[in-house]
Amino acid sequence: MTRRLALSLAVALLATASPRASDSAAPEPAHNTLSPVEKAAGWRLLFDGRTPAGWRGFKKEGFPERGWIIEDGCLRHLGDGRGGDLITVETFSHYEFAFDWLIHPGGNSGVKYFITEERSGAIGHEYQLLGPRTQREALRTPRHQATGAFYDIAPVSTNALPRPPGEWNHSRLIVRGHHIEHWLNGEQVLAYSLDDPVIQESIAASKFKDVPGFGTHFPHHLLLQDHGGDIRFRNLKLRPLEP
């Protein structure tokens, strides 16, 4: 046996005996499920990936017949669907809400909170979601209308940008009493207090100034906005928090 052949056999045996990185890597958790750690921490699913249970149209008894579909484990709003906004059947007061979202280029949507059907329209605080076509477009977006902003009221406090359209983002919304936080892909992009004079002044100067109760805390629905764009949501999870 030549030295070169012996070396080749040794390398082959070592490769066979050594586990491949792909074999030893931990599998990714399934979407729309809770891990044992999440269950222990009090998380619950708001969407099971298969049915519209827990969601209905704003001021409607059931799930929209058009505009929204369940596809590949996602709640998807079709760009031309005109299905109206979706809201949770339940209301919440103090919580952490986590969600993944994917938007198409040029898309515009949002997750709204402090939603009540006692108002004439689906008006509430909005965690803005945008799908800028280019990074330049994203950077030129006014900070009070950028992804993660409290739409038209409070600007994002960092230069964090969403991932390019067509890629998944992870967001979190924390509502605890008067304290609110917006997170984007692991980074806090906004924190504000409902009783902050700056926030109240901004509301008073906005188009929401005459909306009863806007800028106050009360038990409310969460809302997924129909703004005409194609957007998908998955892994919608919530855990109650102490006030």
With 90 as the cut, is the pLDDT of residue 24 above it?
no
pLDDT digits (tens, 9 = 90+) for 115-172: 999 999 999 999 999 998 888 888 889 999 999 999 999 999 988 899 999 999 999 9
Q: Which is more confidently placed, 183 or 13?
A: 183
How many residues can be counted in the chain?
Answer: 243
**Nearest one of 241, 237, 193, 235 to 73, comparing CA atoms:** 235
3-state secondary structure of 127: strand
With 70 as the cut, is the pLDDT of residue 57 above it?
yes
Q: Residue 132 has what pLDDT? A: 87
pLDDT digits (tens, 9 = 90+) for 26-56: 677 899 999 999 999 999 999 999 999 999 9
Token couple for 103: 């938007």
Q: Residue 7 has what pLDDT? A: 44
Q: Residue 214 has what pLDDT? A: 98
Strand-strand pairing, 179-184 and 169-176: antiparallel
The residues facing 224 across adjacent strands are: 86, 111
With 60 as the cut, is the pLDDT of residue 10 above it?
no
Q: Residue 80 has what pLDDT? A: 78
Q: Residue 54 has what pLDDT? A: 98
**Nearest one of 111, 100, 119 to 149, comparing CA atoms:** 111
pLDDT digits (tens, 9 = 90+) for 63-105: 999 999 999 999 999 987 689 999 999 999 999 999 999 999 9
How far is 198 from 203, CA to CA, in rounded Å?
9
Strand-strand pairing, 74-77 and 231-240: antiparallel
Token couple for 219: 């038990």
Q: Residue 150 has what pLDDT? A: 99
Q: Residue 102 has what pLDDT? A: 98
Token couple for 185: 């892909």
Kind and range of the H or E run holding 239: strand 231-240
**Nearest one of 34, 37, 68, 30 to 51, comparing CA atoms:** 68
The residues facing 95 across adjacent strands are: 175, 240
Strand-strand pairing, 179-184 and 187-193: antiparallel
What is the DSSP secondary structure assignment for residue 209, as one 8-state letter? T
Do the beta carbons of residue 103 and residue 230 sit within 8 Å?
yes
Q: Residue 9 has what pLDDT? A: 41
Q: Which is more confidently placed, 238 or 14?
A: 238
Domains and CATH numbers, the chain: 34-240 (2.60.120.560)
